[in-house]
Structure 1
Amino acid sequence: MDTLETTGFNPRGRRTLTKLLAGAALALLALPASAQQIADTVFHNGVVYTVNDQADFAEAVAVKDGRILAVGSNTDIDALIGDATQLVDLSGRVLMPGLVDGHMHPMGGGAQLTACNLNYAPLSVAEVLAKITACAEAEAEADPTTWLRVNGWFRQAMTPAGADLTAAILDQVPTARPIIVIATDFHSMAANSAALSAAGITGDTPNPSDGEIIRDADGLATGIFLDGAIWMVVGAAPDLPADLQAIKNRANLEAALAAIRAQGVTTILDAAAGPEGIAQFNTLRDEGLLTVRAQFAPVVSADETADPAAAVA
């Protein structure tokens, strides 16, 4: 049976409290006086949506040792308040079990929030070029070998309908830096000629088993890469020094967690988990700063399935 988390949220940011709540739904507990205990935390004066067949809504929740002690009216819960009980005044706001997102990419999402970002907007080719140019100009002193990664490209919503990016289009950005533009679905990417050259992509480069290099009528790469072919290009970008990469990974995860919290999501599945991301989750957990329960699905490529035992290891 799954566990639940719930968050008491104050929009002014003065009090945000996340607790692990056991059980598949909030339960109304009628406790005789002799069995009553003093709660560690009480959320009261709210609209508590219990998702419970017996009582859909209540006013207050008492929590002790990370578990729900009782749910009911303010009067019911008042008896469980002691001198040391932390009171969270919901002020009429809704309290409900935390949402579970069964498929997300937190590290990639965090990278979108911390880097050059097209923000999922429906853009024309000219608008895309203007935004990427602004990002390049903001980093005018960057080393020409430093790749410019652009996130949040809503490829399917480009205007007019059917518009797309190519290497030739991205070459119009006034920079010598390799540029990659990651689509919001994480299944397609556009790259400029400098990125193709750095990755060694030519007309003779074969497609990977799990992706495709889109080609023109002459068999040349257009600059669009699908699925596993994306990593043929991304993988050519030089690695940051380990200490700087760790700082960047942490910033990306912290940005993702802030966005996840704001949406009321308390449990996630990272559907393409890498070792660096898992390491950052572990670090924040060990520091007591992890605000979401996470499960991980590491990526196993089609090529690796030839040796299942090695892939699992």
Structure 2
Amino acid sequence: MPGLHDGHAHPIVAGPSLHNVCLADTKLTIPQIQAVITSALKASADQEPGGWLQIDNWHSSGVLPAGTVVTKADLDSLATKRPLYVHSSDSHNAWVNSHALALAGITKNTPDPDGGTIVRDASGEPTSLLKDAARRLVRDVIPHPTPAQAMAAASEAFAMLAAVGVTSVMDAAAEDGFVELYSALAAANKLKLRTGLAYLLSVEQAKDPRAALATLRAFKKNLAGSDLVSTGTAKVFMDGVMEYPAHTAAMLDPYLVNTGTDADPHWEPGTCRGRLDFDQDTITNLALVLDPAGWQLHAHVIGDRALRTALTAYEAVFRHGGRQRDNRHLLERLKEKAKGSGFEFSEGGS
């Protein structure tokens, strides 16, 4: 019978978030956001003073009034000593309070990680906004769920997918720690649909393509044991997102900045063109090693500069025997028409 096939999802990550405080991707003012968080703090007062509070689906580009820049002071003013982690609905931005920054050891002297940005004020102090890979600096110190909790959350996520007719799904950012959980889900008959895993490669891993291939093969070997779970795909983040306040999607032309006022705006090209995480040589060399070995690349691209870089890498593969192998590499998340190509790409991938 026909089924629905979801080519890009994050069921393992989504499971625990089903029970976090949710801002519903709604445009809100700072006081409105503070009111939601305050209500959640009161409802979980037994977690004072050290229990983390995680808030999901924050509309980071829709804080009202338009152009509002969030800071740690907005969260520090709340009546709590707990560390707070507010995660954006686009999964590329996080907003935290001073306690969370301290627990993560993020200071004025903390360097930006590869593929991420710690937003700073004029004096260099972290403002509490973390972009892309910089979110991990805080996420890594948040206590992980127990195996039983992770199992229950993942089971709930897969049951929800199955209930609406999804029969197969691509987990688009898998890590080593997923192996044990997926194996346990399959063994307990909790994995309700076929799942393909795209293993997430960092920029640093990709700089040594042969070692990256060995990592992928080891991941695949460890995953063996159920015909419901498979892998043959590597995931890379070429850039971030174009929405304010991130502006991390890699663009050919610079983002516009308002040199006027809110009442009388005047938009001019600025100096920021976003952040290209994988340079041309790195992504091309990676593609040329993975393709002959039978691995598919699953590239997150949003900006036109990231798109061009990924397509150039795929073209190199095409010219080195890729046409015969017909291993179809993916472009995910982009919203761009490739001029003169006859191809049009849209959200979800092509």
Q: What letter corresponds to residue 126 of structure 2 in structure 1?
A: A
Question: Does 2:95 align with 1:158?
Answer: no
Task: Return the offset for 1:164.
Answer: 4.2
Structure-2 residue corresponding to 1:223 = 128
Q: Deviations over 1:251-283 (max 9, x none)?
A: 321232233234322211111113343432322
Distance 1:278 1:184, change over 3 A: farther
TM superposition score normalised by structure 2: 0.57
Distance 1:289 1:120, change over 3 A: same
Aligned 1:216-295 pairs, distance under 5 A: 216-237=121-142, 239-240=143-144, 245-295=146-196
Q: In terms of mean alpha carbon deviation, does 152-161 or 198-207 score higher?
A: 152-161
> Aligned-pair RMSD on alpha carbons?
1.9
Structure-1 residue corresponding to 2:102 = 197
Distance 1:122 1:279, change over 3 A: farther
Q: Distance in 1 between matches of 2:28 and 2:156?
A: 24
Q: Distance in 1 between matches of 2:64 and 2:160?
A: 28
Compare relative contact order (CA 8 Å, sep 6+) and give the higher one, 1 or 2: 1
Task: Return the offset for 1:172.
Answer: 2.1
Q: Distance in 2 between matches of 1:133 and 1:186?
A: 23
Instruction: Kindly indicate whether the alpha-carbon contact (under 8 Å) linking 1:112 and 1:152 is maintained by their aligned counterparts in 2.
Output: no
Report SS of the residue matched to 1:268: strand
Distance 1:262 1:157, change over 3 A: farther
Task: Return the offset for 1:143.
Answer: 4.7
Structure-2 residue corresponding to 1:111 = 16
TM superposition score normalised by structure 1: 0.63
Distance 1:232 1:203, change over 3 A: same
Instruction: Kindly indicate whether the alpha-carbon contact (under 8 Å) linking 1:101 and 1:268 is maintained by their aligned counterparts in 2.
Output: yes
Distance 1:165 1:112, change over 3 A: farther
Aligned 1:1-313 pairs, distance under 5 A: 6=1, 97-237=2-142, 239-240=143-144, 245-311=146-212, 312=215, 313=218
* Structure with the higher fraction of residues in strand conformation: 1
Distance 1:127 1:148, change over 3 A: same
Instruction: Kindly indicate whether the alpha-carbon contact (under 8 Å) linking 1:104 and 1:271 is maintained by their aligned counterparts in 2.
Output: yes
Residue segments in structure 1 that go unaligned for 5+ positions in a row:
1-5, 7-96
Task: Return the offset for 1:211.
Answer: 0.7
Q: Distance in 2 between matches of 1:214 and 1:287?
A: 43
Q: Distance in 2 between matches of 1:288 and 1:171?
A: 44
Q: Deviations over 1:271-313 (max 9, x none)?
A: 1113343432322221222212111112221122344444414
Residue segments in structure 2 that go unaligned for 5+ positions in a row:
219-350
Report SS of the residue matched to 1:157: coil
Identity %: 36
Report SS of the residue matched to 2:45: coil
Report SS of the residue matched to 1:144: coil
Task: Return the offset for 1:231.
Answer: 0.4
Instruction: Kindly indicate whether the alpha-carbon contact (under 8 Å) linking 2:155 and 2:190 is maintained by their aligned counterparts in 1.
Output: no
Q: What letter corresponds to residue 33 of structure 2 in structure 1?
A: V
Instruction: Kindly indicate whether the alpha-carbon contact (under 8 Å) linking 1:249 and 1:277 is maintained by their aligned counterparts in 2.
Output: no
Q: Distance in 2 between matches of 1:197 and 1:218?
A: 18
Larger Rg over CA atoms: 1
Distance 1:267 1:210, change over 3 A: same
Q: What letter corresponds to residue 234 of structure 1 in structure 2?
A: R
Distance 1:251 1:118, change over 3 A: farther
Instruction: Kindly indicate whether the alpha-carbon contact (under 8 Å) linking 1:114 and 1:251 is maintained by their aligned counterparts in 2.
Output: no
* Structure with the higher fraction of residues in helix conformation: 2
Report SS of the residue matched to 1:196: helix
Q: Distance in 2 between matches of 1:135 and 1:278?
A: 33
